[in-house]
A = this chain, B = another copy of it.
Amino acid sequence: MLLSKSCMYGLRASVQLAGKKDNTYVTIRELSEDLDISFFFLTKVLQRLTQAEILESYKGPNGGVRLLKHPGEVTFLDVVTAIDGACTLNECALGLPGCGVMKPCPLHDKWSIMKENIMNMMQNITIAELANRGNDNLDLDGLIHYIIR
């Protein structure tokens, strides 16, 4: 598995928020119910997104979280790095530590290309794009739930 669960939860929540027409505050409780994620755990995950200034939170009645930037400006990778920390694909794509490019194994070049591809993909797709593709379907929320879950 490439991404941690925290990371997936964060992604799903971000996409869910990106799918909203208006960018009003949504309670974490509501998000957790829509996405079927533990409220307590999701709270922890979203705190990291708030700290990373991907989300903005507001306490009290009618509070909650919302996207700080325009969803078209938040990449998949932004969310991943905010939660899982700096790129996990830094080193060997296989996870073999301490390996360099001096004496690469036969996999190295192919892996490097793939790594590059994965990084590009994560860097180039925004949560807006991930949310918007359900446009031909009216049940957007349900769809996203289905898609991302």
Contacts and interface: CB of A to CB of B under 8 A. Distances in A.
A143 interface: yes
A95 B3 contact: yes
Given A8-B95, A105-B133, A88 B1 contact: yes
Interface stretch (A26-34, A60-68, A114-122): A114-122
Contacts of A121: 107, 110-111, 114
Given A114-B117, A114-B118, A97 B149 contact: yes
| Identical copies of this chain, number | 2
A46 interface: no
Contact of A133 (B76, B106, B110, B147): B106
Interface in A57-81: 76
Interface string A97-108: 111000111110
A125 interface: yes
B94 A3 contact: yes
Given A1-B95, A12-B96, A148 B103 contact: no
Contacts of A96: 8, 11-12, 148-149
Interface in A8-34: 8, 11-12
A40 interface: no
A133 B137 CA distance: 52
Closest 10 CB pairs of A and B: A1-B95, A3-B95, A105-B147, A98-B149, A106-B129, A2-B95, A106-B133, A8-B96, A103-B147, A105-B130
